[in-house]
Amino acid sequence: TGSLDDIGIGKGQYYTVNVPLLDGIKDTEFTPLVCRILNKVKETFRPEVVVCQCGADGLAGDPMESFNLTHKGLGKCLYFLLQWNLPTLVLGGGGYNLSNTARCWAFLTALATGKQIPTEIPDHEYFIEYGPDYELEVYPGNRKNHNTAHYLRQVYGAVLNNISKICTKKC
């Protein structure tokens, strides 16, 4: 919801990394872009700990109706982050399609803890909300993707430029 200019203020200037994406992005564009940006963030900031908020409002089927993401795309981003082997706090956030949000968070929690979970949703009080397939899968949406390759390159370049300025301030 922010812009490339949302970079923090005062002593915190350039410590905020915002990646504004247009409606319809899919896992195939989202995951590599986020991982490349995270890699640059790691190089520049050299974190000792990580707090990762795993918002689920970009999932396909969310009432926000923005992105076409799946739990697997978000999972690849989290897996990339976990490979840093730093103390990591993983939080939920966002997500207004409650059954898809629960699916996603269950998947990400299993990923973070190294556990395998069944793909079938177990019977419980809200089981009917997980129909018609009653599976863990969140399928990609079919919203038109407005993120052209050119736009994504522009965003990536601008984000890298913003991140590089933090080094200028510290060096």
CATH of the domain at 158: 3.40.800.20
pLDDT band for position 60 (cuts 50, 70, 90): very high
CA distance 86 to 46: 11
**Mean pLDDT computed over 41-69:** 94
The per-residue b/e assignment along 60-84, b for 16 or more CB within 10 angstroms, e otherwise, is bbbebebbbbbbebbbbbbebbbee
Residue 37 included in any domain: yes
pLDDT value at 31 more than 90: yes
What percent of the chain stands above pLDDT 70?
96
Tens of pLDDT, residues 113-143: 999 999 999 999 999 999 999 999 999 999 9
**Mean pLDDT computed over 46-68:** 94
Q: Which residue has the higher pLDDT, 45 or 1?
A: 45
What percent of the chain stands above pLDDT 90?
88
pLDDT band for position 166 (cuts 50, 70, 90): confident
Residue 2 included in any domain: no
* Distances in whole angstroms, Cα of residue 161 to Cα of each of 5, 42, 90, 164, 166: 11, 15, 27, 5, 9
> Could you tell me if 117 and 104 are in contact, meaning their C-beta atoms sit under 8 angstroms apart?
no
**Mean pLDDT computed over 88-95:** 94
Residue span of the structural domain in which 96 resides: 10-164
Bridge partner residues of 55 (DSSP)? 93
Residue 14 included in any domain: yes
The per-residue pLDDT for 2 is 83
**Mean pLDDT computed over 19-41:** 97
Residue 5 included in any domain: no
Residue 158 included in any domain: yes
Residue 138 included in any domain: yes
* Distances in whole angstroms, Cα of residue 150 to Cα of each of 18, 142, 147, 161: 18, 21, 8, 16
pLDDT value at 169 more than 70: no
Residue found by looking up tokens 């409650």 in the block: 98
pTM value surpassing 0.85:
yes
Residue 137 included in any domain: yes
pLDDT band for position 65 (cuts 50, 70, 90): confident
Domains in the chain, number: 1
Bridge partner residues of 46 (DSSP)? none
CA distance 52 to 41: 13
CA distance 102 to 92: 10
Mean pLDDT of the chain: 94
Residue 129 included in any domain: yes
